[in-house]
Amino acid sequence: MDELVCSEFKLGRRFLGCLPHGKDLITSIENFCTASNIRMATFSVVGAVSSATIGVYDQKQHVYVTFTENTAMEIVNCIGNVSLTDKTPVIQSHIVLADENGKITGGHLFSETVLFVGEIDLQEMIGKPLERVYDNKTGLMLWNLENPGGS
């Protein structure tokens, strides 16, 4: 693939709401998507966490190096998407966090990341949902855009 390859979607439902205090960020969104029958979406979150697990991908060894910060931090940015893996809605998201001194960290979002407070803006996408499949070149689960939705 030498160029940007896309699928086109219609806009579905648009949700704004609050994420639950004391709960895991990823699990909360995935549970909502399952309960609301959302298979494809993009979202953003602002808020704060009481702890966070984030990672950066080692592009040579094909593993995520993760670390956990057990401290109160602002979610200064968090964007991501929802698509299907094995027919189940799963989140891919990156997060940027600020500690009490304004020092910033960030990376790929993992569980467990515990919410203090959070506001989400989620846009459902209507169309043949993209499915994640293993990509040999990168070692990551990427969208199967030649055959979106699989069969």
Give the shortest CB-147-to-its own copies separation in angstroms: 13
Give the shortest CB-67-to-its own copies separation in angstroms: 6
Please select the residue that binds its own copies; options are 112, 134, 145, 147, rule is CB under 8 A: 145
Residue by residue, DSSP assigns 37-66 as T--SEEEEEEEEEEEEEEEEEETTTTEEEE
The identity of residue 42, as a single letter, is T
Give the shortest CB-17-to-its own copies separation in angstroms: 3
Q: Which is nearer to its own copies, 3 or 86 (by Cβ)?
A: 3
| Whether 43 contacts 79, CB under 8 Å | yes
The identity of residue 95, as a single letter, is I
Q: Which is nearer to its own copies, 93 or 113 (by Cβ)?
A: 93
93 belongs to the binding site for its own copies (CB under 8 A): yes
> Mapping DSSP to helix (H, G, I), strand (E, B) and coil, where does residue 26 land?
helix
Both tokens of 141, joined, read 């689960």
86 belongs to the binding site for its own copies (CB under 8 A): no
91 belongs to the binding site for its own copies (CB under 8 A): no
Q: Could you say which residues in the range 15-44 bind its own copies, by CB under 8 A? A: 15-21, 23, 28-29, 31-32, 40, 42, 44
Both tokens of 42, joined, read 């993009």
Containing H/E element for 132?
strand 132-134
Report how many residues bind its own copies under the rule CB under 8 A: 78
Q: Which is nearer to its own copies, 102 or 151 (by Cβ)?
A: 102
134: exposed, middle or buried (C-beta count within 10 Å: 0-12, 13-18, 19+)? Answer: exposed
Binding mask of the shown chain, residues 65 to 84, with x at each position contacting its own copies by CB under 8 A:
x-x----xxxxxx-xxx---
